[in-house]
Structure 1
Amino acid sequence: MCFFKEISIERFVVLLYFTLSITISSGADTIFANQSLSGDHTIISKGGQFELGFFKAGDSSNYYIGIWYYKKLYSNPSIIVWVANRETSISDRFRSELKIIDGSLVLLNDSMSQIWLTNVTFTTTILNSATTLIHDDGNLVLRDSGSNSVEPFWQSFENPTHTWLPGAKLGYTNITKKRQFLTSQRTNEDPIASYILLTFEDGYQHSKPKWVYDFHDDEDCWCLSAYRIFLYSY
């Protein structure tokens, strides 16, 4: 009799885990502090515009966490607009996890080693209430679900990679003394950052966008001198 009870409990646990997995991968737009993303599970923005999950780069065995246009809207589901772990790929997406640890969004590989994180400063009060949400504009945000404020303490729009989406920021942050810029991919099938960047002159609200060969040398290769563009200074 006890044997059958044990089997029933095991089946219940498996069923519960399977149900949670389906919930995360069937249209949810949020990762909560007690959840993780792995394998083929994804989150999809509320209006079905963008999707976040693991993707494979070309014909390689390298996987990355990225954001792309939701495949039901476009015939080509591999239009990647943002990549988290550009410099360090993973090989096993089923044993890797994207989860919230101590208030930060962290990517762990199959050996549970940390290979990417948002690295933000926050108070200890939000450790258990931090959530990750993907919006219909493609912005991935990390915010405190226990607060009435909608302002995130980290967002992909302030940390762009190779694509400039409407609403994303390129410019200079006065608080962190950090500027946002775009970096080209090595190839269409390799998301590793290359040497061509799109950046702006520092310290100006009206500044010229320019292409740079090497960020460290800051050598201009082309500049849009015909017009000036408004940038956010914050």
Structure 2
Amino acid sequence: MAHATRVLRSEWTKATTVRSTVWTLGLALLITVLVGMGLSLVFKSTYDDLAPTDQATFDPVFTSFAGMSLGQLAMIAFGVLLVANEYSSGMIRASLAAVPQRGLFMGAKLLVGTVLVFVVGMVTSFLSFFLGQAMLGDLATSIGEPNVLRAVVGGGLYMTLIALFAMGITWMLRSAILSFSILIPLFFLVTPILGAIPATQDAAQWLPDQAGTMIMTVVAPDRPYGPWGGLLVMVAWVVAALIAGYATLRTRDA
């Protein structure tokens, strides 16, 4: 137990003293909140120009999370750098020499990363909601309306899971460059394109970000799963990535 506590302290020190990881969390908050406020203001000023069908399906909660698509880039960067920094600096050899139990090493880093992104993700989600609703004016909703609190909490959970997914992928690839070269195109090109093409929409809705964002909606699109079902799909992707990352960490030399 004492050994596990020392490992946790070590991982906490690594995570909170490396400027790149601290900055990425700060950027995740700022980008998500500011972009969400800006786009909420745009929607407020252009709402009357929307088609009647678009007005009928307008979701003020999801609108306040419009910055999430960019903010998640910073969360992905946090997850990648938290793992990859040890490999790029060569510190991984010293870390595994000090903690030969690789499951304990990975678990400690994972716990520290989860705590950090969960706290920042929840703060980001609630700020995005309240400030976004302020920009929407008479189009806004309140936290007490049905399913709104679930969607806001879900925003924090989504940001947490996207970072954990990035950590799992990075443990597999052991390289920041390789991880970014897969994750950035996946979430910013592949899934939006597949989701926009009618022939591939049915497959795209099972991808992690497409499924995960359902938890942030109140006016949900037609999917074979609901908001919590979508989050479970994303959780399954995260668990698979972490299992694969652990298998790589356990079987390959530093």
Flag the structure with larger Rg: 1
- Choose between structure 1 and 2 for higher RCO, CA contacts under 8 A separated by at least 6 residues: 2
Same structural fold, with TM-score higher than 0.5 when normalized by the shorter chain? no
With structure 1 as the length reference, what TM-score do the two structures score? 0.28
With structure 2 as the length reference, what TM-score do the two structures score? 0.27
